[in-house]
Amino acid sequence: MNMIIRKRQLVTATLVIALGAAVFVNWYYTRPEAQISDAAGNTTKSVREAEEADNLGDAQYVIANSGKSTEDLFAESEMNRRKAHDEAAELLNSVIKDEGSSEAAVKEATAKLKELSEQIKLEADVETLITAKTGSDCLVILDGESGQVIVPSGILNDTVTVQIKDIILNKTGLSSKNITIIELKG
């Protein structure tokens, strides 16, 4: 009886170690910090960036249709984005100005306010580059881990999609999987 319990414990311990090794190997080969050398040998890219560059043209088209004109939808989307930015900045400023806030809370709010202003500038820069490249207006919404680009109807094709994704990848460092391009249908 005692021998059977020891065998079970040995089998269980072996399975736990094997599972731990499998998790480690999976983490090791899929972590973003894994570096590979570029063909030129003078720059490096992460494994994930190299895989995304291979699939840069893989587009996911999302079509929005609400019966409103394209100009109305752009204006509404831009107004919603501006309102969200203003509300976030107002909330952070209220924490900074509140005399009852702890020093740590003020530091954190100040850092987040700086991040927000950098995000707003980055969105504007990306919009400018996409507009210059495509010749059409767009709206870019970034949230740190993903990005959405809203473009008017009729401009999306494979070339424009690759150009938009290339601009976002270069300016933000976002994953290609986390970029969504939405074509408005008005």
**Where exactly are the structural domains of the chain?**
2-50, 58-185
Q: Do 158 and 59 touch, CB atoms closer than 8 A?
A: yes
Q: Is 184 exposed, middle or buried (0-12, 13-18, 19+ CB in 10 A)?
A: buried
Q: Rounded to an integer, what distance in angstroms lies between the CA atom of residue 157 and that of residue 161?
A: 6
Quick one: pLDDT at residue 68? 63
**Model's pTM, two decimal places?**
0.59
CATH superfamily of the 58-185 domain: Stage III sporulation protein AH-like (1.10.287.4300)
At residue 43, the pLDDT reads 45
- H or E element in which residue 44 lies: strand 44-46
62 in Cβ contact with 156 (< 8 Å): no
Q: Could you read off the pLDDT of 85-115 as tens digits, one per residue? A: 888 888 888 888 888 888 888 888 888 888 8
Q: Which residues of the chain have pLDDT under 70?
A: 1-4, 31-70, 186
For 25, 60, 64, 79, 150, the CA distances from 182, given in Å and listed in that order, are 37, 9, 7, 17, 5
Look at strands 147-151 and 179-185 and give their pairing: parallel
Distances (CA, A) of 168 to 62, 121, 141, 164, 183: 17, 13, 11, 6, 16
Q: What is the pLDDT of residue 129?
A: 92
Q: Look-up: residue for tokens 């999306």?
A: 156
Would you state the pLDDT for residue 81? 83
Looking at residue 106, its pLDDT comes to 85
| pLDDT score for 119 | 87
